[in-house]
Amino acid sequence: MKILKYLLIGIICLVVVICPLGLILPKEYTVARSTVIKAPRQIVLEHVKNLKTMDKWSPWSKKDPNIKQEFGGNDGEVGSWSKWEGNKDVGKGKQEVTAVTDNSVDFKLTFLEPWQTVSDVNFTVNDSADASKVTWTMKGKMPFPFNVFGLFMNMDKMIGNDFNKGLAGLKTMAEEAAAHKTYRGYEIKEIGLTPRVYVAKRATVKFNDIGPFFMKNLPMLIEATGKAGLQPAGAPSGIYFNWEPEKQQTDMAAAIPFAAGPAIPIIKGTEQVKASGKALQIIYYGAYEKVGAAHDAMDDYMKEKNLTLNELVIEEYISGPKTEKDTAKWQTNIYYLVK
């Protein structure tokens, strides 16, 4: 009987202590962690809003190799969701995308086991120099009397450690993706174009006449520069100064590149075009008439990177019909000089 009496007294004392504490202790919590990722904001956001991609860097997925998961909705869009059920470390719950903007994603996170809670999660991604700053925030409620447990466990430290692990995984994946991002299937490199001088035959040419223009003028340029004792520094090329779809014509030149240095003698009927500096490069394989998609990819890249064309677009014809029958193996190096 004495044991029951002391036990009852202990319970009463505990209730007397807990009730006042539960009334005055915070019933909400906020946890936030940030990192800087060397990748464009758009790439980082793709890795955050797409739940199947998030699962690859999520710290909780790694806590249970046998976790059961289900995905629904259009991944990356408002209303898409994922459900999971796993061991005691990950529990059971659901995550749903509730808002998507050009620099943030919101989620509703519902835990069903080991206890029932609902939290609001936000990822904000802001441009930071040549990188992106990512902030991961979770806000939730701990109703009375569960808020008393905050005295014995540090929510910020517990969840914050997982956030740090997750952000490290996100950083690795996003930076790898940025290094190998393609545009319309093409990889674009930013390079420093070696200074060169093109001996060129320039004219305004209708789109339908571009092929014949090259067939007429490139052999002439090769012969004339050869007679002048000049050694080419690259493959025969096309230079485009502007492109006028409304008139179906272009101001262009057939050209042969030479190393910049000693003065190149003037060849009658030609002009010299200098090219150097910052450039974008695509190595294109395929028939000439299908090269348009590569140029569209350049436009996409310049728009994303806020770059403008510095007058010249150059196509360098490394291999073509004279050396290779298979059009899929024709190589054209495309350069956009930019500023």
Which CATH number belongs to the domain containing residue 332 in this structure? 3.20.80.10
194 lies in the same domain as 113: no
**Assigned domain for 289 exists:** yes
63 lies in the same domain as 167: yes
107 lies in the same domain as 231: no
**Assigned domain for 317 exists:** yes
**What was the pLDDT predicted at 321?**
92
**Assigned domain for 291 exists:** yes
166 lies in the same domain as 201: no
- Among 155-159, 254-258, 282-286, the range scoring the smallest mean pLDDT is 155-159
**What was the pLDDT predicted at 153?**
55
197 lies in the same domain as 327: yes
**What was the pLDDT predicted at 30?**
87
**Assigned domain for 257 exists:** yes
220 lies in the same domain as 78: no
Asked whether residue 98 carries a pLDDT value surpassing 70, the answer given is: yes
Asked whether residue 315 carries a pLDDT value surpassing 50, the answer given is: yes
**Band of the pLDDT at 20, cuts 50, 70, 90?**
low
Q: What is the pLDDT of residues 218-238, one digit of tens each?
A: 999 999 999 999 999 999 999
**Assigned domain for 231 exists:** yes
Share of the chain above pLDDT 90, in %: 70
Domain end point (choices 180, 215, 238): 180
222 lies in the same domain as 319: yes
55 lies in the same domain as 137: yes
**Assigned domain for 108 exists:** yes
CATH at 43? 3.30.530.20
235 lies in the same domain as 290: yes
236 lies in the same domain as 328: yes
**Band of the pLDDT at 24, cuts 50, 70, 90?**
very low
Q: Which residue has the higher pLDDT, 290 or 29?
A: 290
Range of the domain at 233: 186-338
**What was the pLDDT predicted at 181?**
85
174 lies in the same domain as 26: yes
Highest mean pLDDT among 3-7, 8-12, 178-182, 263-267: 263-267
**What was the pLDDT predicted at 88?**
85
How many domains does one find in the chain? 2
**Assigned domain for 2 exists:** no
With 0-12 CB in 10 A as exposed, 13-18 as middle and 19+ as buried, what is 179? exposed
Average pLDDT over residues 259-267: 91
**Assigned domain for 3 exists:** no
2: Cβ contacts below 8 Å, ≥ 6 apart: none
Strand 309-317 vs strand 104-113: parallel, antiparallel, or unpaired? unpaired
**What was the pLDDT predicted at 13?**
45
Contact present, 175 and 38 (Cβ < 8 Å): yes
166 lies in the same domain as 34: yes
pTM, two decimals, is: 0.60
Domain end point (choices 130, 145, 180): 180
**CA angle, 95 as apex, 90 and 100 as ends, to 5°?**
140
Q: What is the pLDDT of residues 326-335, one digit of tens each?
A: 999 999 999 9
